[in-house]
Amino acid sequence: MGESVSGAVAREGDQPAALALASGVALVGLGSWLVLAGLGRWAGAAAAGAGALLLAGGALAGRVGSPLFAFLDSLADRAFDGCLLSAIALAVRDVDPPAAGAAVAALVASFLGAYVRARGRALGYGVEDSLATRAVRYALVAIGLTGDWLGPAMIALLVVTALAAAVRASQVAKQERE
């Protein structure tokens, strides 16, 4: 058993979660670079791999039950959206402005949803954080990059992220009234 960065003793089951999350973030970086290099199909493959690793890492982090791993999982999820969606918006702003706009709006909605979740939990409310919603988000980015459906995929992603943010906000509002 070794010491982790936070000073807490690392537990036996921590390593697979850390490895999956770190590998997923590395693929996010690679995918973002590939988007900016104009290699959309390869970027889609990297995004799909990153999504799979981040989903596995999220599930493993949930089993670990550590606040540090919950934070790292959330950070990795924000990195996926922040890096890939901003790279998409930047790369296609001249050739497909609606896709770029939808990517930016989806990024904003995703960060808003994450904020509502974090703020609601900080206030003691139970706020949904579904791996299924994440899987849909990751898949839409990968499919949009891999195929010739970037515009429709970004619009669908915007709808999914906006709905997720609205559901989280309604959960907090409902619990506030109770």
Q: Tokens 């799909």 sit at which residue?
A: 48
4 assigned to some structural domain? no
pLDDT at position 166 over 60: yes
Distance, C-alpha 116 to centroid of its chain: 15
Residue 3 placed within a domain = no
Grade residue 36 by pLDDT with cuts at 50, 70 and 90.
very high
Does a structural domain hold residue 7?
no
In a domain, 74, yes or no: yes
In percent, the amount of the chain with pLDDT more than 70 equals 93
Could you tell me which residues come within 8 angstroms of residue 4 by beta carbon, excluding any fewer than 6 positions away? Answer: 10, 14, 68
**If you search the block for the tokens 């429709």, which residue do you land on?**
152
For the segment 97-114, what is each residue's pLDDT rounded down to a tens digit?
Answer: 999 999 999 999 999 999
pLDDT at 173 over 90: no
- The CATH number of the domain holding residue 115 is 1.20.120.1760
Residue 127 is predicted with a pLDDT of 81
Is residue 114 in some structural domain?
A: yes
Least confident of 4-8, 49-53, 109-113, 170-174: 4-8
**Closest residue by Cα to residue 143 from 34, 30, 45, 56:** 45
Q: For residue 13, what pLDDT band results from cuts at 50, 70 and 90?
A: low
Banded pLDDT at 95 (limits 50, 70, 90): very high
Report d(CA 93, CA 154) in Å as an integer. 13
pLDDT grade, residue 90 (50/70/90)? very high
Output b/e per residue, 127-145; b: 16+ Cβ within 10 A: bebeeebbebbbbbbbbbb
Residue 168 located in a structural domain = yes
Tokens coding 23: 């590998």
**Sequential DSSP letters for 17-29:** HHHHHHHHHHHHH
Residue 8, in any domain of the structure: no
As for how many domains the chain has, the answer is: 1
pLDDT at 2 over 50: no
pLDDT band of residue 11 (cuts 50, 70, 90) is: low
Instruction: Print the domain residue range for 145.
Output: 14-177
* 160: three-class secondary structure by DSSP: helix
The packing angle between helices 131-146 and 150-177, to 10°, is 160
